Amino acid sequence: MTELVSLRETEPVTAGARGAPCAMRAVGLNAYFGATQAVRDVALDVPANEVTAIIGPSGCGKSTLLRTFNRMHETVPTARITGQVFFHGQDIYGDDVNPITLRRYVGMVFQRPTPFPTMSIRDNVAAGLRVQSGDKLDRRQVDEIVERALREAALWDEVKDRLKASATGISGGQQQRLCIARALATAPHVLLLDEPTASLDPLSSQKVEELVYELRKTMTVVIVTHNMQQAARVSDRTVFMLSGQLVETAPTRVMFTAPTDPRTEAYITGRFG
């Protein structure tokens, strides 16, 4: 018990040592689909340059919470939120915020690979660049960024000889890494990953996990996962959610060794969910 307390107390120091203020912060956040409330009064700090994992049983609102961070939640008809979400101190639901601009800094990768089927591998990676910077970049610059993004996503060696081929001709795991490369190409500050390995085989999952582990050097990552081992492997902090509420937030080591809330312990030890 003493160990737990001391670990918790050292945590803010660690964050401070990395010089990391909060990249994202949710305050009194509620999210709804019509009359159904998916997220209940969540307060959460996401430290910069760390990987934060959100775990919880299906339907606990973890994906919805993630989608409020780049305002994708509101693209669903009847969806709405109350409360506030801050991105580097700015309220992203403020009147003067354009969600399009926000999404250029807060990238997202979805559960299933979503390559654009009519585009080549190269054009898929460059898709975000095209909408964000218009045609200001010339071909060579785009090619450089595409290569960098594909290398970061550990996909370059596998696709470098067929950049002009259709993006649907590669495997599911490659497609998902392509989608990550597409999100990385525009150099977001925060990357939101919504169960990125849910539809992948173990080997592909491992590659994506290694990638996530590397990404913290350059950006803040929030990953939603229903795989607790994955959360333990890749994240610095873990958030446990249950029926829309945030039950516990702790450094990952603490969460998986000495959770404070009995519900967290029950979930982690596999008693439900």
Q: Does 182 bind another protein (CB under 8 A)?
A: yes
Cβ–Cβ contacts within 10 Å for residue 34, how many?
A: 10
Q: Does 207 bind another protein (CB under 8 A)?
A: no
x/- mask, another protein, residues 118-157, rule CB under 8 A, reads xx-------xx-xxx-------------------------
Tell me whether residue 66 is exposed, middle or buried, using C-beta atoms within 10 angstroms of its C-beta: 0 to 12, 13 to 18, 19 or more: buried
**153 close to 196: Cβ distance less than 8 angstroms:** no
Of 57, 48, 89, which is closest to residue 266 (Cα–Cα)? 57
Q: Does 75 bind another protein (CB under 8 A)?
A: yes
In whole angstroms, the minimum distance from the beta carbon of 188 to another protein comes to: 9
When the beta carbons of 64 and 186 are compared against another protein, the nearer one is 186
CA dihedral of 61, 65, 71, 77, whole degrees rounded to 10: 10
Strand partners, 44: 26
Applying CB under 8 A, among 52, 186, 238, 252 the residue interacting with another protein is 186
Region at 219 (left for phi over 0; alpha for psi -120 to 50; beta for the rest): beta
**47 close to 23: Cβ distance less than 8 angstroms:** yes
Applying CB under 8 A, among 64, 70, 205, 238 the residue interacting with another protein is 70
In whole angstroms, the minimum distance from the beta carbon of 259 to another protein comes to: 32
DSSP annotation of 72 reads -
Applying CB under 8 A, among 183, 190, 222, 268 the residue interacting with another protein is 183
x/- mask, another protein, residues 90-119, rule CB under 8 A, reads ----------xx-xx--xx-x-x-x-xxxx
In whole angstroms, the minimum distance from the beta carbon of 25 to another protein comes to: 21
In whole angstroms, the minimum distance from the beta carbon of 65 to another protein comes to: 16
Q: Tell me the C-alpha distance between 249 and 38, whole Å.
A: 18
Q: Which residues bind another protein (CB under 8 A)?
A: 70, 72, 75, 77, 100-101, 103-104, 107-108, 110, 112, 114, 116-119, 127-128, 130-132, 166, 168, 179, 182-183, 186
